[in-house]
Every structure is written in C-alpha cells, then in structure tokens.
Amino acid sequence: MNKFSTLLVILLSAVCTAQAQFTEIKGVFKRSEPATVKLYKVAYGRMEEIASITPAANGAFGFSFQPDYKGYYVIGTGDPRKGMQDKIKVYAKGNDKINLVLNDSTYVLTGVNTKENQVLEQWYKLTYQLEHKSVYFFNTKSTYVDFFPALESVAAKSKSWMNGKATGNADFDQLMKKTMDYDLAYYAMTFLFTPRSVHPTKADYTSYLKNFSSDHFLQNEDLYKFPYGMGVLGNLVMFKNKDLVKFDFDKIVMSIPSDKLKGEYVLAGAARETSYAKYLEIADKYNKYFLTADQKTRAEKIAAGLATFKQGERAISFTYPDLSGNQVSLTDFKGKIVLVDVWATWCGPCKQEIPSLKALEKEFHGKDVVFLSVSVDEEKDKEKWQKFIADGQLGGVQLFASGWSQITQAYAIKGIPRFMLFDKNGNIIDVDAPRPSDPKLKELLNEWLNKAL
C-alpha cells in the first residue's frame, strides 16, 4: 500500500469514527397544540437546552448531536422550570438512533431504537399513571386517596422489574436501577408538595412514605444525573425537616449530608433574594459549600444581578493568575485602597492611559494604594501580554483574565479601559472612576487615603 492510500484509509477511519459518535433522534410531533420541540442535556440536575426545532407540516422533527456524556437527555416542550411536564428522558451514548412519536400525553418508540431506550420506554409505561397524578397536578386533580395505592403498586413491582431486562450496557443497567428509585422519589415528593384539594397527614401515609428516607438521596450527588434533580432537592429537604415547628434555614442546610447539595440548596435560596445585602449575608456564611465551578459561577451571577454598585456596597471579588501564575484576588488587598484597571494590549485608549497611570503609581509609591491591572486579552495572546508588560516596564499587580470573563460580567463592563476604585474595607468607591489622565482620580485617591478604616 502506497503512502497516499495509507493516508486515505486513516482519514476515512477518522471520519467514520467521528460520525459514529453521533446520536440521531427522529420523531413525529402529534400533540394537538403546536410547539417548538427542544432537546436538553442534564447539567448538575438541571435541564440546559442544546437545540430546538419547529416540526414540519407533517409533524416530523429531528436532532443529530454528539453527546457530551453517556446518560439522560430530555426531549419535549414547555418551560424546564416546570420539571418533566411535557417532556421525556432518553438515553444517549453516541452511535445510536432514537425514533419516536410525541403524543399529547405520552410517547411511543417506533422503528429502530437502542435496547436502553426500549427498557426506558417500558418503565415509562409502567409509571405513566403515577407520573401524571404527580407531575400534571393541575390536570389530574389527584389526591392521596388514589395516588398512594398507585405508588405502592409501582414500588412493589419495581423490586424485581429489572429481572431479565439486561441491555448489555452495564453502565445503563446500573443507572436504570437508580432511575426506578429516583423516579419514584420524584413522583412522591412532587405529589406531596404541590397543590391538592386534600392533603394527607402522616397517619395517611402508606408503606412507601412511612419508610422513606430523604438521606438516601441527599448523601451523594446522584441527583445530578437526573433532569429533575435540583427540582426535587428542595422537596426532599422539606420532607426530611417536615417536623420543624419553625423555619430555620441554617438548621435545614446543615441537615443535608452532602456538602455539594448543601451548596445547591443555599444557591436556590440565594437566587430568590432581592437584596444584595441579604445575598452577601447568605454567601458569607455558606460559600464554603460552593464547591463546583458551576456553583461558583452561579453565585457570581446572582451577586452581579443584585449588586447596585453604590458607594459603600461590598465589592464583588474576582480571582486571576498574576505573571508568576499565582492566583490573586481583590479581597487579598483589604486594608489598602485598590485602583483596578481593566484593559487589553489591543486597546488604543487603554494604552494612552499608561503614562498617566505610571505617573500616578510613582506619586503614590509607599502609600496604602494598590494598582491592580486586569487584562482581558484572550488566552491565545497571553505571551503578547507578558511581552507588553516587560517591554513597557509596567508596574503594579498584573493579572490575566483570559478574555471577557468574570470581572466584566460582575461589573457589567461593556467597554475598556474601565477604572474602578475600592476602599480599605473592600467596599465600592466608584466602579466607573475617572481615568488616570483626569486630575479627579488623584483627588479621589487622596480623599480616601485620609479616611480611617
């Protein structure tokens, strides 16, 4: 085989391998009300839309995507905040086909489908009535009188339901066993904590709820695998703390065994706050439970959405690497006035301010003022940033933000340069301060230097 033929085989093999990783979904939309069909991935127990399509005149729709992970995805319509209403979960692993019909209240598989989705459809059929009594509470008008017997029936059948249903995919089979457990908990908790014409007392509970343990679902992060995971978290916590006479947020948080789920519960509460001061009170006490990158990003977005940037308000901190790669935060400089310069090497007006900035640094040398420059150059231009600093002999603390990242989002920065001034307590003086070329900045620095902590 010559070199050209060998290269062609390698390229064709690579193309085939890449194509084999895609999941193809083909469906027919037969619901009475027209709607956009959406495809969601499951991210930390929440649904995140990755694609949408308006069905054709004959109802046909389809998706082709490369799964980020092997596990559950969601197809359906409506608002993801309403949980699984008008949505179904499917299993995707890449190199698979899913063919289905979406009816008004059900779905059915048609044509070629994977064994995993065939098993999932069988479970859906078994739990269909239970799901509708629970999740579609405004339509079914179900009460505990009819729901509890249905719950007990499905719970009993679930104990041996997977017998003889092995798919050959050990990961899915294990996930399916958890799915039965978690789906039942989702239906039970959703039923208990949604509007009903009659609510049960503990005396009305049947075997499933009498033996139910919220901690079984709160001791690890398996809830992250399910599209309703974070939706049911609050209900699980409420059920565990149902005997509390008075609402006690701290006691409730500390009742959650998993620290990551503590963080999720706290963030859900923080997102409902309308006061930045109240948010800070919560974040200061519980931010040690914001453990994942996702949680930290969401906390920053909540803070940014509530902050008014008034003088005296707590600054939103940020953390970036310096020239040596050390992580440096705004909060590291408490006890000093901090002038933040958000800039980039490609920004003409930013570079025009450098001589005035250098002069200001020289004038305030030895005083309690930190000059903190944050570059929003892209990662690909990091060496250019390093060379620019070296060639220009720039002083102060130099940080690299790798593009328009947290600091620009937190402070709603749409253009640069942006100069921001913070006091010795880490509070805002001005998030749109005068530029170094403006004498007013020097006056402002002197004014705040003379103020006591």
Structure tokens at 256: 């959650």
How many domains does the chain contain in total?
2
Contact 402, 431 (CB under 8 A): no
Whole-number Cα distances in Å, 139 to 30, 101, 184: 19, 22, 20
DSSP string, 228-250: THHHHHHHHHHHHTTT-SS--HH
3 state SS of 53: strand
The last residue of one of the domains, among 38, 72, 102, is 102
Q: Is residue 439 domain-resident?
A: yes
Whole-number pLDDT of residue 452? 59
Q: Is residue 423 domain-resident?
A: yes
Domain containing 415 — which CATH number?
A: 3.40.30.10
Whole-number pLDDT of residue 141? 86
Whole-number pLDDT of residue 12? 41
Residues 6+ apart with CB under 8 A from 131: 84, 124, 183, 187
Contact 270, 279 (CB under 8 A): yes
Structure tokens at 438: 């403006």
- pLDDT in single tens digits along all 453 residues of the chain: 444 444 333 434 444 444 458 999 999 999 999 999 999 999 999 999 999 999 999 999 999 999 999 999 999 998 888 899 999 999 999 999 999 999 998 999 999 999 999 999 999 999 999 999 999 988 888 999 999 999 999 999 999 999 999 999 999 999 999 999 999 999 999 999 999 999 999 999 999 999 999 999 999 999 999 999 999 999 999 999 999 988 999 999 999 999 999 999 999 999 999 999 899 999 999 999 999 999 999 999 999 999 999 999 999 999 999 999 999 999 999 999 999 999 999 999 999 999 999 999 999 999 999 999 999 999 999 999 999 999 999 999 999 999 999 899 899 999 999 999 999 999 999 999 999 999 999 999 999 999 855
Cα separation of 38 and 48, whole Å? 10
Q: Is residue 248 domain-resident?
A: no
Please name which of 438, 448, 439, 434 lies closest in space to residue 338, comparing C-alpha atoms: 448
Q: Is residue 380 domain-resident?
A: yes
Exposed, middle or buried by CB within 10 Å (0-12, 13-18, 19+), for 106? middle
Whole-number Cα distances in Å, 120 to 28, 50, 53, 177, 244: 19, 22, 24, 11, 38
Structure tokens at 5: 């033929």
Whole-number Cα distances in Å, 394 to 326, 335, 350, 359: 18, 23, 13, 11
Burial code (b: 16+ CB inside 10 Å, e: under 16) for 31-67 equals: beeeeebbbbbbbbbbbeebeebebeeeeebbbebeb
3 state SS of 63: strand
Q: Is residue 134 domain-resident?
A: no
Whole-number pLDDT of residue 10? 40
Whole-number pLDDT of residue 444? 96
Q: Is residue 199 domain-resident?
A: no
The last residue of one of the domains, among 58, 86, 102, is 102
3 state SS of 429: strand
Whole-number pLDDT of residue 5? 41
Longest dimension (CA), the chain: 82
Domain containing 68 — which CATH number?
A: 2.60.40.1120
The last residue of one of the domains, among 102, 135, 152, is 102
* Counts for the chain of helices (H) and strands (E), in that order: 17, 15
The domain of 32 spans 22-102
Let me know the angle formed at the C-alpha of 148 by 173 and 236, rounded to the nearest 5 degrees.
Answer: 65
Please name which of 93, 26, 24 lies closest in space to residue 65, comparing C-alpha atoms: 24
Any idea which residue has 């895609």 for tokens?
Answer: 22
Cα separation of 234 and 241, whole Å? 11
Q: Is residue 156 domain-resident?
A: no
